[in-house]
Amino acid sequence: MTGRLTNWAGNVTFSAERFHRPASVGELQRIVAGSSRVRAIGTGHSFNRIADSPGDLVSVAGLPRIIQIDAARATVTVSAGLRYGELAGPLNEAGWALRNLGSLPHISIAGACATGTHGSGDANGNLAAAVTALQMVTAGGDVVTLSRDGDGERFGGVVVALGALGIVTSLTLDLVPAFGIRQYVYEGLPRDQLDEHLADIFASAYSVSLFTGWRGGAISQVWRKCLAAAVGSPAPAPWLGARPADGPRHPVPGMPAAYCTQQLGVPGPWHERLPHFRPEFTPSSGEELQSEYLVPREHAVEALAAIDRIRNRVAPLLRISEIRTVAADDLWLSPSYQRPSVAIHFTWVKDPEAVQPVLAAIEDQLAPLRARPHWGKLFAASPAAVRGRYPRLPDFQRLRSHYDPVGKFGNELVDCYVPAG
Ligand SMILES: Cc1cc2nc3c(=O)[nH]c(=O)nc-3n(C[C@H](O)[C@H](O)[C@H](O)COP(=O)(O)OP(=O)(O)OC[C@H]3O[C@@H](n4cnc5c(N)ncnc54)[C@H](O)[C@@H]3O)c2cc1C
């Protein structure tokens, strides 16, 4: 490999010695069987070393492209390296939709599902919750297919797997009929209104995101993504003390609204409204780091108050913070495992040394609420603390030993936080 690969943010230089882009599953099987340490990389959008490998690093983006809709089952089978943005258009044209998307369409489907990536919406699980089956190449080079219907409980362990069980080559996802969304942005939601009406605010649309700089006072923006067909879609009128924005907005102060998906209530298809950012632009602010913590939804107000207590440490390093909700699921390593959650996200300036101690301070504040960090973002919590928040971790560790008895798919981060059983 000439020149080292880095992640999207540029804060991680991968240590892998060799990089592969197989063109067939057979070629991938030979690479895996012949390697002693190998891991998959998606589109490299994680902010920590989760995708790194001490030996071989493999992208499945070169495998034959598959988008196979099964209308009778309402599912689609896709090649694992496909990006959500590449899948969404063809699905919509065929009259189908995914139930939800993350804030950007650029990430790979396998990479997003492996870390429990999520969007927002009280009734919407994370993106991995849509997976009904997957195929992966395991340590010996064998191809294994697992499904929600055929593999019972064990399936809960293999979807959010941090790349530690094998290299996923295809996934089958649940579909729903295509739907339209109207996106409304409100500004200046008073903090006391949020505390008093938090559940109603998040229940007020299909997907709701709050943005704040933690500078005290009001929540700067509320993005409400409403089903276009819903009776009584909110008219752009003042709401709980917040004002409807009089033009398009970017959530990060000073960034151009042209990067963002259409707002002002203009109806549009699900895939052009659920992500915050358009596929043709560099998402978010580019020069940044990210962290996120999921806490049980019943502790949302407490969690926000806890961050507020240290806002003078948070705000100076922050570009923006986003607060979303995620439905509970049954995926063992999912940060929303069996907990309807509120997810508190931080987009930081790109200064890892300054950010690290603030992560520790946030984690101290959120520890009593048993916060689970996003696997693909920066966190400081000790392995013991993180492990204690995943009741099915011992079962996952047994799965690791089963599919990867020699520890081929491990790396420093994974071996530290979810060691083989
Ligand atoms: C600008 C920006 C916005 C973001 N917005 C959101 C958001 O809205 N919500 C959210 O939850 N997260 C968000 N994230 C985080 C991001 O979604 C996750 O880090 C996600 O895992 C990245 O996907 P990826 O394809 O880049 O995976 P990578 O970062 O490349 O890899 C992540 C993990 O997936 C594994 N993996 C990848 N491909 C395979 C495969 N074929 N088989 C097995 N394992 C595999 C890797 O080994 C690794 O463990 C954002 C990140 C950025 C940069």
Q: Assess whether pLDDT exceeds 60 at residue 2.
A: no
Out of 84, 107, 109, 145, give the residue to mutate to test ligand 1, the one with the largest number of ligand atoms within 8 Å of its CB: 107
Spatial neighbors of 121 by CB under 8 A, at least 6 apart, are 100, 206, 207, 208, 225, 324, 325, 326, 327
Which residue lies with its CA nearest to atom 34 of ligand 1?
Answer: 111
For ligand 1, say whether the CB of 109 is within 6 Å of any of its atoms: no
Contact indicator for 46, 63 with CB cutoff of 8 Å: no
Note the pTM of the prediction, 2 decimals.
0.97
At residue 355, what is the residue type? Answer: V
What is the model's pLDDT at position 281?
76
Asked if residue 307 lies in contact with residue 194, where contact means CB atoms within 8 angstroms, the answer is no
Tell me how far the alpha carbon of residue 72 lies from the centroid of ligand 1, in angstroms.
30
Mean of the per-residue pLDDT values of the chain: 95
**Residue in the structure block whose two tokens are 């030979």:** 30
Q: How far is CA 210 from CA 50, 256, 259, 262, 398, in A?
A: 27, 18, 18, 17, 39
Those residues whose C-beta lies under 8 Å from the C-beta of residue 128, and which sit 6 or more positions away, are 112, 113, 114, 116, 117, 159, 160, 329, 331, 334
Q: How far is the CA of 109 from the centre of ligand 1 (A)?
A: 8
pLDDT in tens, 347-378: 999 999 999 999 999 999 999 999 999 999 99
Q: Residues 6 or more apart from 72 whose CB is under 8 A from it?
A: none
Q: Is the CB of 60 under 6 A from ligand 1?
A: yes
Q: Are 108 and 51 in contact (CB under 8 A)?
A: no
The pLDDT score that the predictor gives to residue 182 is: 95
pLDDT for the residue 342: 98
Closest residue by Cα to atom 5, ligand 1, is 103
Can you give the pLDDT at residue 230? 72
Q: What is the pLDDT of residue 233?
A: 59
Residue 31 carries which side chain, given as an amino acid letter?
I
Give bridge partners of residue 77 from the DSSP assignment. 68, 172
What does the alpha-carbon distance between residue 297 and residue 25 come to, in Å, rounded to a whole number? 41
Q: From 124, 127, 128, select the one nearest 326 (Cα to Cα).
A: 124
Confidence of residue 421 (pLDDT cuts 50, 70, 90): confident
Give the position, in ligand 1's atom list, of the atom nearest the Cα of 118: 11
